[in-house]
Each structure stands twice: as structure tokens, then as C-alpha cells.
Chains A and B, each alone.
Chain A
Amino acid sequence: MNAFRLAGDITHLISILVLLLKIYATKSCSGISLKTQELYAVVFLARYLDLFTDFISVYNSVMKVVFILSSVAIVWCMRRHRAVKRSYDKELDTFRHYYLVGACFVFALLVHEKFTFQEVFWAFSIYLEAVAIIPQLVLLQRSGNVDNLTGQYVFFLGAYRALYILNWIYRYFTEAKFSRWIACISGLVQTALYADFFYYYFLSWKNNAKLNLPA
């Protein structure tokens, strides 16, 4: 465990806490894509199938459980909680996310480290995580405004991605056996998607204008 990875995990956790706080404090999920949140829940459920078969550390197991529970809790709130449900921007959140799930699964069947149930689902979760933010970006683009907490949520998610890349660079140079090319390439794609968002988010903040993402 290096400092970059720990900081990456912490910012990832903070992003989820910020989102839960926003939903809990404002009883509103306006500006949040349910589809992205559903994809994240699927990502964690598919990736952490090893929770009962491989023990890494207490830290690792606890974080896995926290990520699964918090992502499922967010989806549950947005779907079932009466007040929160009402604030959901359903007509703006129209990205067909099932296509992403299907495409990532087919890709995982083709590109994986080993053709086993667990390995295919692991690769699937990595690919799906890389593109899971797309419905959220589409929603932000359509609504054209980002409230503070939603902005911070996306900011912390982006920080997590950037720190994980530093972690991989660090591990590449310090660990003889480190080769996670599936995770690294997918991570770069994911970070590029965020970089695009950050650029327009920065512009809108600088000009004090509404966030305007190009199609």
C-alpha cells in the first residue's frame, strides 16, 4: 500500500460520502444520475465477488463492504425514498446505460486475464467503471447547472482517478511483478472522460457561467 493508493481510496470514499450527505441533508438527488449510480453498484458487486474467496487485508475487506453497501444505499434512496425520488431528474437521465453493461460484458468475455467466472466479472467491472460516469456527464450537460455538492462529488471522483494513476506509476517502478494492464488502460480512459468534464467545469467556474458541455 502506497500513499497514492491510500489517498485514492480515501477520496473515492469521500466522494460517496459527499453524495450520501447531499441526498440525506437536502432530501434531493437533483443533478445526480440514477443510471450512473446503478452502474457503480453493479461495478462493485461484480468486482468484489472475491470477498469470500481471497483475503487480502482487513482494510481491503472492510472497504469492499463499505463500497457495496453505500452504492446500493444510494440506488435504494433514489428509487424508493419518497422525497428523494421526487427530485430525480428522470426526463434528463435518458442515457441507455444497458448498452454500456452489454458492451462491457462482451468486451470482458473477449479481453480478460483468465477465462474464469471471477476473472471475467473482474474485467467487466473494470471496463464498466471506466464508462459509468457517462450518464452523469450527459445529465449535467442537459441540466446545464451543477450545485456545489454535485460538483464536489465529481471532483472527488476525479481526484480518486488521478491518484490511482500515480499509484500505478509508483507500483510499476517499485514492484517487479506489477502488471495490471487491463486496469491501467481502462483507468486512463476513465480519467480522460473526467479530464474533459473538469476542463468545462473549470471554464464555467472561471467565467461564472452555466456549465456547458459540448455534445
Chain B
Amino acid sequence: ELEPPPKDEL
């Protein structure tokens, strides 16, 4: 399973 990218937006 793909690791979701970190939520870097506000």
C-alpha cells in the first residue's frame, strides 16, 4: 500500500 504524502498545507 502506498504511503500517503504528509499533509503539509494549511
Interface residues of A (CB under 8 A from B): 5, 9, 12, 50, 54, 56-57, 60, 63-64, 67, 113-114, 122, 164, 167, 177-180, 183
Contact = CB atoms under 8 A, between A and B. Distances in A.
Contacts of A60: 8, 10
Contact of B5 (A9, A167, A178): A178
A141 B9 CA distance: 32
A80 B4 CA distance: 41
Nearest to B4: A113
Contacts, number: 25
A177 B6 CA distance: 11
A64 B5 contact: no
Give the interface SS of chain A, mostly helix, strand, loop or mixed: helix
B7 A122 contact: yes
Interface residues of B, number: 7
B10 A63 contact: yes
B7 to A, nearest CB: 7
B6 A56 contact: yes
A52 to B, nearest CB: 14
A12 B4 contact: no
A179 B7 CA distance: 11
A114 B9 CA distance: 18
